[in-house]
């Protein structure tokens, strides 16, 4: 469901925060989503499959590069 003010989904808002050079803390993601910390943690674990999300410093996550889609082979790998 999209936010009527920003026109973004909760996932898009989270990804915007994670794309910042400084990344996003768990508390920032909780504040933007309204989810519990365990739910945000689950989101991060699932998003790691699609995006290169890493812990860049204690309690701070960031997308450091775009990961290859799960269903497509990485360049140089056999299909």
Residue 18 lies in a domain: yes
Q: Is residue 52 part of a domain?
A: yes
Residue 68 predicted with pLDDT over 80: no
Q: Domain limits at 18?
A: 10-65
Q: Is residue 59 part of a domain?
A: yes
The model's pTM is 0.72
Q: What band does 69 get if pLDDT is binned at 50, 70 and 90?
A: low
* Nearest alpha-carbon partner for 60 in 27, 31, 32, 16: 27
Q: Which pLDDT score, from 0 to 100, does residue 71 have? A: 54
CATH number at 55 reads 1.10.10
Q: Does residue 79 lie in a domain region? A: no
Distance CA(29)–CA(17), nearest Å, equals 8
Provide the pLDDT for residue 26: 92
Answer whether residue 72 shows pLDDT above 70: no
How many structural domains comprise the chain? 1
40 falls within a domain: yes
Say what the pLDDT of residue 28 is: 95
pLDDT(49) > 60: yes
């Amino acid at each position: 469901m999209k936010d009527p003010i920003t026109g973004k989904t909760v996932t898009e808002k989270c990804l915007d925060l994670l794309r910042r050079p400084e990344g996003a803390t768990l508390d920032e993601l909780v504040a933007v989503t309204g989810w519990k910390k365990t739910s945000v943690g689950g989101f991060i674990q699932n998003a790691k499959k699609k995006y290169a999300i890493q812990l860049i410093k204690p309690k701070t996550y960031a997308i450091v590069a775009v990961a290859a889609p799960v269903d497509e082979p990485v360049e140089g790998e056999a299909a």
